[in-house]
């Protein structure tokens, strides 16, 4: 049987080991369960497998516009105070690309959008609130941009296969200023690991990355619910057929999961 002092010793060792683990490794390993949940989100899976329509992507992208707006506004403010911050590369910026894609998608689908949903508003406000808590801000930066450079590219392939996504509607996925994503990601991880963070700051970054994944999950769930409630109207207007697949079974599943 394990005594209390054994348990205390084990915790102390675990904490000690954790301090020796590079931040990039902690971020990846300690968010791996959350990542699996995000990949398996009903909305994202339905979207990627052609069970919704391109309007569902437009709905999510509209919300991501606010999230990237917050990420990039905050990065601008942090850069002003610390221009040497190697992580906040402007080549990552997505807000302008999202604006272009949304204009092109609106033209294609005829769907005007829904405005800012509460989950996206909360997510964006949370990011903005971390302007002076840089480790927590960086957790959001890492979660979105490294995700976009990784699985995000797979999402583009799925969307294109299912709905057709021509170049002028897919600027979000194109990082014109980044020639080789794996090289960029390695440099990003090295820059993370070189930050002079206290153990408490590193813990805060890892904790916040978990929260960033939760923010994304909440956003996907809300998009699923909103899309389900809009689907009859979208279908009636014909917008869902803009490269979309059969809606009915997916809508029923999204409703059941909500």
Distances (CA, A) of 37 to 45, 126, 211, 250: 11, 21, 13, 19
Residue 27 interacts with ligand HEM (CB under 6 A): yes or no: yes
Q: Which is nearer to ligand HEM, 130 or 144 (CB)?
A: 144
Coil vs helix vs strand at 86: coil
Contact 54, 102 (CB under 8 A): no
Residue 154 interacts with ligand HEM (CB under 6 A): yes or no: yes
With CB under 6 A as the contact rule, the residue among 63, 89, 119, 143 that binds ligand HEM is 143
Distances (CA, A) of 251 to 47, 56, 161, 230: 11, 11, 20, 10
- Where does 82-150 have alpha helices with state H? 95-109, 118-129, 134-141, 147-149
Q: What are phi and psi of 87, to 5 degrees?
A: -80, -25
With CB under 6 A as the contact rule, the residue among 18, 35, 121, 253 that binds ligand HEM is 35
Contacts of 229 (CB under 8 A, 6+ apart): none
Identify which range of 35-43, 65-73, 81-89, 221-229 contacts ligand HEM by CB under 6 A. 35-43
Radius of gyration (C-alpha) of the chain in whole angstroms: 20
Identify which range of 27-35, 76-84, 117-125, 198-206 contacts ligand HEM by CB under 6 A. 27-35
Identify which range of 36-44, 80-88, 106-114, 165-173 contacts ligand HEM by CB under 6 A. 36-44
**Residues 183-202 close enough to bind ligand HEM by CB under 6 A:** 185
With CB under 6 A as the contact rule, the residue among 43, 72, 216, 223 that binds ligand HEM is 216
Footprint of ligand HEM (CB under 6 A): 27-28, 35, 38-39, 44, 48, 142-144, 146-147, 150-151, 154-155, 185, 213, 216
């Amino acid at each position: 049987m394990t005594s209390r002092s054994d348990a205390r010793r084990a915790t102390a060792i675990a904490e000690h080991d954790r301090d020796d683990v590079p931040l990039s490794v902690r971020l990846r390993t300690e968010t791996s369960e959350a990542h699996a949940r995000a990949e398996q989100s009903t909305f994202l899976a339905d979207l990627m497998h052609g069970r919704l329509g391109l309007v569902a992507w437009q709905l999510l992208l509209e919300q991501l516009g606010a999230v990237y707006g917050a990420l990039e506004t905050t990065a601008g403010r942090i850069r002003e105070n610390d221009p040497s911050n190697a992580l906040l590369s402007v080549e990552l910026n997505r807000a302008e690309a999202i604006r272009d894609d949304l204009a092109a998608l609106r033209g294609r689908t005829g769907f005007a959008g829904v405005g800012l949903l509460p989950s996206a508003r909360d997510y964006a406000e949370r990011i903005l609130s971390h302007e002076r808590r840089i480790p927590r801000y960086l957790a959001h930066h890492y979660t979105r941009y490294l995700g976009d450079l990784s699985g995000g590219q797979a999402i583009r392939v799925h969307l294109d296969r299912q709905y057709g996504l021509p170049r002028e509607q897919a600027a979000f996925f194109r990082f014109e200023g980044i020639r080789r994503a794996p090289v960029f990601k390695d440099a990003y991880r090295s820059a993370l690991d070189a930050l002079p963070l206290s153990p408490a700051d590193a813990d805060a970054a890892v904790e916040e990355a978990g929260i960033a994944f939760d923010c994304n999950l909440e956003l996907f769930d809300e998009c699923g619910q909103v899309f389900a409630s809009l689907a009859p109207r979208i279908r009636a207007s014909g917008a869902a057929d803009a490269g979309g697949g059969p809606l009915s079974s997916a809508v029923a599943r999204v409703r059941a999961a909500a």
